[in-house]
């Protein structure tokens, strides 16, 4: 059967870290490619992020609110939407199983993009045992078990940005062994020997790549799309930071993979909230973002993505604003 063409999109988690970029890119295509754009959000967010909600309404977004765990509220919200794009945060990833079952039963919903936008959770045989992947693996299993629902996993690898502890952010000195690019201190701690290749995707590109996937329904149907902005090495990243911050050398140290594994294990043993992040950084440092060929070309995105230079420029801006 031919893949379904997306027209009306309902987004969950639209005011979150990556949701903001995804809805922004979707709204840029509203009118040209898409008709109705709606968000389903919590009543709490209506109050706590009222300015953001008002901005979305002013751009023509329909705002539906309620409890995402309520089957009735979600089924009613689905009316008239053919595609669901979920950007929910990690703590509620498992709620998507019910969202998927309800979408499968609903006559209007034809397609579901689960909240992925990160590490490839089916990269290789060891992926099945990685702790941070378990909830997302259950969500994929729920999608595979549906009768009529098309799905796409947009796999982007780590974000090439400096917000909220992301790969190009500055971590506090006491946590820097987990990797840091600190503009203020001109200081970097690189994971591994600094020469390991890694693919990153800027959050701005995540939004564009999701839209490209929506606009290429046949190519994106029922599969993972492994996409990214650029492939680089930690040493090349720090060299770019040095170039864009006046040319002086930064102070650079390394956390070898064996030490990173130890830190990861200790963090899990202590029940540290950052243990999952260390696991993901270890997976990326082991090459878990690398492919013979990425899927950008399949959805017309081989050339129109950010470069390392773009990402570092933006990271410097973000870090400067934060200080
Ligand atoms: N590749 C990377 O480097 C990277 C980094 C971070 C995240 N990610 C991935 O991106 C996806 C979205 O993560 P995010 O960081 O953008 O999400 P987030 O900002 O933490 O949350 C997104 C939205 O989820 C909804 N939500 C409701 N209850 C929540 C709860 N208890 N905890 C968290 N969120 C809740 C909220 O939407 P409403 O307010 O509208 O209800 C919230 O705005 C995840 O799959 C995550 O794994 C990838």
Overall number of domains in the chain:
2
Q: What is the pLDDT of residue 252?
A: 98
Nearest CA among 306, 309, 111 for reference residue 209: 306
Residues 6+ apart with CB under 8 A from 51: none
Task: Give yes or no for a contact between 101 and 69, defined as CB atoms under 8 angstroms apart.
Answer: no
Query: Is residue 224 in some structural domain?
Result: no
pLDDT over 70, % of the chain: 100
Q: Which ligand 1 atom sits closest to the C-alpha of 18? A: 16
| Cα distance between residue 62 and residue 261, in whole Å | 46
Residue 46's domain spans which residues? Answer: 9-155
Q: Say what the pLDDT of residue 96 is.
A: 98
**What is the residue-averaged pLDDT of the chain?**
97
Active site residue ranges = 136
Q: Examine the pLDDT at 323 and tell me if it is beyond 80.
A: no
Kindly give the distance from the C-alpha atom of residue 284 to the centroid of ligand 1, in angstroms, as a whole number: 20
C-alpha pair distances (Å), 224 with each of 119, 229, 270: 11, 16, 34
Say if residue 278 is in the same domain as residue 150. no
Q: Which residues line ligand 1 (CB under 6 A)?
A: 13, 15-19, 41-42, 45, 87-92, 115-118, 156, 158-159, 166
DSSP 130-179: -GGGHHHHHHHHHHHT-SS-EEEEEE--SB-S-STT-TTSPPPGGGGGG-
Q: Rounded distance, CA 299 to CA 75, Å?
A: 30
CB 311, CB 161: distance < 8 Å: yes
Q: Are residues 104 and 25 in the same domain?
A: yes
Are 179 and 116 members of one domain?
no
Q: Locate the DSSP E strands across 205-315.
A: 223-226, 230-232, 251-255
Q: Is 221 among the domain residues?
A: no
C-alpha 92 to ligand 1 mean position (Å) = 8
Residues 268 and 191 reside in one and the same domain: yes
Residue 277 has pLDDT above 80, yes or no: yes
Residue 145 falls within a domain, yes or no? yes
Q: How far apart are CA 230 and CA 160, in angstroms?
A: 9
Q: According to the model, what pLDDT value does residue 33 have? A: 87
Q: What is the pLDDT of residues 71-107, one digit of tens each?
A: 999 999 999 999 999 999 999 999 999 999 999 999 9
* CA pair distance 295, 220, nearest whole angstrom: 10
11, 22 in Cβ contact below 8 A?
yes
Per-residue pLDDT tens for 292-304? 999 999 999 999 9
Tens of pLDDT, residue by residue over 28-56, are: 997 788 999 999 999 999 999 999 999 99
Same-domain check for residues 177 and 317: yes
Provide the percentage of residues in the chain whose pLDDT is more than 90: 97
Q: Whose CA is nearest to atom 4 of ligand 1?
A: 118
Q: Residue 161's pLDDT is what?
A: 98
Specify the CATH number for the domain of residue 52: 3.40.50.720
End-to-end CA distance of the chain: 53
Q: What tokens were used for 143?
A: 């999608």
In a domain, 116, yes or no: yes
179 & 273 share domain? yes
| Contact between residue 155 and residue 116 where contact means Cβ atoms under 8 Å apart | yes
- On whether residue 218 sits in a domain, the answer given is no
Whichever domain contains 275, its CATH number is 3.90.25
Query: For residues 96 and 244, what is the distance between their CA atoms, to the nearest angstrom?
Result: 41
Are 14 and 114 part of one and the same domain?
yes
Residue 217 located in a structural domain: no
CA of 239 to the centre of ligand 1 (A): 31
User: Inter-axis angle of helices 71-78 and 96-105, to 10 degrees?
Assistant: 50
Instruction: Please identify, by atom number, the ligand 1 atom nearest to the C-alpha of residue 156.
Output: 1
Q: Could you write out the DSSP letters of every residue in 217-246?
A: HHHHTTEEEE--SEEE-HHHHHHHHHHHTT
């Amino acid at each position: 059967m031919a893949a379904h063409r997306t027209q009306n999109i309902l987004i969950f988690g639209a005011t979150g870290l990556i949701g903001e970029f995804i809805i922004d890119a979707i709204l840029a295509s509203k009118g040209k490619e898409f008709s109705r754009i709606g968000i389903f959000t919590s009543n709490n967010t209506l109050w706590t992020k009222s300015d953001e909600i008002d901005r979305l309404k002013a751009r023509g977004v329909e705002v539906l609110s309620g409890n995402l765990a309520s089957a009735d509220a979600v089924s009613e919200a689905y009316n008239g939407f053919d595609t669901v794009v979920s950007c929910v945060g990690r703590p509620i990833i498992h709620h998507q199983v019910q969202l998927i079952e309800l979408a499968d039963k609903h006559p209007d919903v034809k397609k579901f993009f689960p909240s992925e936008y990160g590490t490839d959770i089916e990269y290789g045989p060891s992926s099945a045992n990685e702790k941070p992947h378990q909830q997302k693996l259950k969500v994929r299993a729920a999608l595979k078990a549906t009768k009529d629902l098309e799905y796409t996993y947009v796999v982007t690898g780590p974000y090439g940005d400096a917000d909220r502890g992301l790969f190009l952010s500055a971590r506090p000195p006491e946590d820097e062994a987990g990797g840091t690019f600190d503009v203020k201190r001109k200081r970097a701690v690189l994971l591994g020997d600094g020469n390991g290749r890694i693919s990153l995707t800027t959050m701005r590109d995540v939004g564009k790549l999701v839209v490209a996937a929506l606009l290429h329904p046949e190519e994106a149907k029922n599969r993972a799309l492994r996409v990214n902005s650029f492939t680089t090495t930690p040493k090349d990243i720090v060299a770019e930071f040095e170039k864009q911050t006046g040319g002086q050398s930064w102070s650079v140290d390394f956390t070898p993979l064996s030490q990173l594994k130890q830190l990861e294990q200790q963090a899990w043993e202590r029940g540290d909230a950052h243990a999952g992040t260390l696991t993901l950084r270890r997976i990326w440092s082991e090459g878990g973002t690398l492919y013979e060929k990425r899927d950008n070309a399949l959805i017309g995105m081989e050339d129109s993505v950010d470069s390392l230079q773009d990402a570092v420029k933006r990271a410097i801006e973000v870090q400067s604003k934060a200080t």
